[in-house]
Amino acid sequence: MIHARLAQYAVVLLACATSTAPAPVPITPVPSLPAMTVPPPKDPTQRLLDSLSLRAKVGQLVMPWIPGTYSAKDDPGFLKARAWVDSLQVGGIIVSIGSPLDIAAKLDALQQQAGIPLLVASDLEGGTAMRFVGGTAFPTNMGVAATGRESDAYEMGRITAVEGRAVGIHLVFAPVADVNNNAANPIINTRSFGGNPSAVAALVSAEVRGLQEHGMLATAKHFPGHGDTGTDTHISLPVIDAPWSRLDSVELVPFRAAIKSGVAAVMSAHIALPGVDGGKVRPATLTPTLLTGVLRDSLGFEGLVVTDALDMGGIVSTYGPGEAAVLAILAGADLLLQPPDARTAIDAVVVAVKEGRITQTRLDQSVRRVLEMKRQVGLFTHRTVALDSVMDWVGTAAHEAMARDVTQRSLVLVQDSGGVVSNLRTGPQPVTLLTFADNPSTVLGATLADALRAAGYTVTTFGLWPSSGPASYDSARTALAASPVAVVAASIKVSAWSGTISLPPQVAALVNSTAANQPTVLVSFGSPYLLTQAPGVQGYLLAWAARPINELAVAAALTGAADIGGRLPIELDAALPIGAGLQLGAAP
């Protein structure tokens, strides 16, 4: 055929050379070949995703918990963690309390064992001091809110990010976006920024920016809102009967702000909302209506959905460790935190995929999100941290100075009947300092007493504990009567598995009887709601957390060395609404 066509071309060319050339022979066009379609190159995340086995993919969605304390490489606990990384190929690790250097060394060792870099997370609410021994401590979220400055929430996020990344943490389970509108809530309380949805939203947004603008992935929690519960999810499943209109106008407001600010992750809550879920009583963590219908579809969140810890009583006691993991993914979760047994969770999800309960497409969506988060924080180029630089970043003087300033401004003088606090601020005088902490491990009062004595005050001290008996209470009454003014320092704080957050009746009775006989100031280093149990006290000061930095702030407030200017971020009663708080200037 080709030779015939060439012969035709030759006849045409020869004819064109003479004057009597015949008409040109028509040439039929040769059909063109279809253009070659070159598929676009796969992005690195997709290439990695495609290379993973089913079991390896599922492993990327599981994040077990380890302590941050020091351990040798042949320690049984460390060997168990290494097996999670080596054999189960888990996607990440949650690290808990320890020194910054111990945490960093342990994480570096595990990162070096991992085939795919580990995404490391930690609960760092209110600053890294929640988990780092020597980390920077802020006065809880509610204390930050009491200052009235969004910039304080931003700075808390910034410092948390800098210190957290220095030890090898990439994802922080903060900020708390819950609106605390239930005084009996035993598990949120001061972890919330307060009771006003729009104020909480602004502070959540500020902390998200502070964290993520300095390299830390933020997590808004506990979706769709854990502030109006009276039950600890570590023990059982709280049920909130609120309708959609209430959820939409209160609980979801801070989550919308977090999403608008680009928050990387949202953590689900183990709470049931039958009014939104068609009457069903099941945890939000396992509810497609909430995680997919509300969070993904209605709020437009495209980031990582992480579960709250799957070993909590609100989940594991009803669904078991394997089925809870499967249901969470079916509901819309991407990352399974702290399952009771990592292998059981992985096995269950693998079976669910093989049986078709979870589609391969659904699984790949979650795995891709996890891998993208790792790429976003640079884990595929650098997975370990330099141990010799940890001391340059964690608990620095500049960070501590910022925390001290915020803590001092966070104090709220709720009431000062008869001017008992104002009188204390006029100059040195005898006082009795009575302390009560609901946790025996809490160190309370020593820093405050020392600071008062350094300012010239004569201080008699006495401590009570949950185990104190009648003889101790008799001795406490004697000590209180020895001085004209009583200062009662109480630490009643959120504690997982306790189920309550209040003064023991015998302590409340002692405080009220003391206030009936002499001027008494109650200083709360924890829950702000203690006034309802001790209505007889003349002075009530909120100090938010039982830490030395807070005790120093209280000493400065009681001696007149610093202003008292914080305002309530929650409502105590109709007479003490959000924004209440007496303002006292520092002594000249």
Condensed to tens digits (0 to 9), the pLDDT of residues 217-261 reads 999 999 999 887 766 555 668 888 889 999 999 999 999 999 999
CA distance 39 to 42: 9
Instruction: Report pLDDT for 499.
Output: 54
Tens digit of pLDDT for each residue in 176-218?
A: 999 998 888 888 999 999 999 999 999 999 999 999 999 999 9
Q: Region 474-495: what's the mean pLDDT?
A: 93
234-243, 369-378, 512-521: least confident range:
234-243
338-342, 451-455, 486-490, 495-499: least confident range:
495-499
pLDDT at 43 over 60: yes
Tokens of 454: 């350094």
Q: Region 506-530: what's the mean pLDDT?
A: 97
Specify the CATH number of the domain 409-558. Answer: 3.40.50.1700
Instruction: Report pLDDT for 10.
Output: 38
102-106, 186-190, 283-287: least confident range:
186-190
Cis peptide leading into residue 222 (ω within 30°): yes
Instruction: Report pLDDT for 36.
Output: 56
Closest by CA to 566, choosing from 582, 585, 586, is: 582
pLDDT bucket at 434, cuts 50 / 70 / 90? very high
pLDDT bucket at 390, cuts 50 / 70 / 90? very high
pLDDT bucket at 39, cuts 50 / 70 / 90? low
Specify whether the backbone of 572 is left (phi greater than 0), alpha (psi in -120 to 50) or beta: alpha
- Residues involved in catalysis: 234, 308
pLDDT bucket at 495, cuts 50 / 70 / 90? low
Mean pLDDT of the chain, nearest integer: 92
Instruction: Report pLDDT for 439.
Output: 85
Please indicate whether the domains covering 44-393 and 409-558 agree at the CATH topology level: no
The CA distances from residue 39 to 36, 42, 43, 44, in Å, are 10, 9, 12, 15
pLDDT at 9 over 70: no
Q: Region 381-405: what's the mean pLDDT?
A: 97
Specify the CATH number of the domain 44-393. Answer: 3.20.20.300
**Residue ranges with strand state E in 202-331:** 217-223, 265-268, 304-306
Instruction: Report pLDDT for 501.
Output: 82
Q: Region 468-481: what's the mean pLDDT?
A: 96
Tens digit of pLDDT for each residue in 55-86?
A: 999 999 999 999 999 999 999 999 999 999 99
Q: How many helices (H) and strands (E) would you count in the chain?
A: 22, 15
Q: Region 559-572: what's the mean pLDDT?
A: 97
Domain residue ranges of the chain, discontinuous segments joined by +: 44-393, 409-558
Q: Which helix (H) or strand (E) holds 414?
A: strand 412-416
Q: Region 14-32: what's the mean pLDDT?
A: 45
Q: Region 440-447: what's the mean pLDDT?
A: 92
Q: What is the pTM (predicted TM-score) of this model?
A: 0.91
| Residue 486: strand pairing partners | 432, 520
Position with higher pLDDT, 240 vs 507: 507
pLDDT bucket at 38, cuts 50 / 70 / 90? low
pLDDT at 588 over 80: no
CA distance 190 to 407: 14
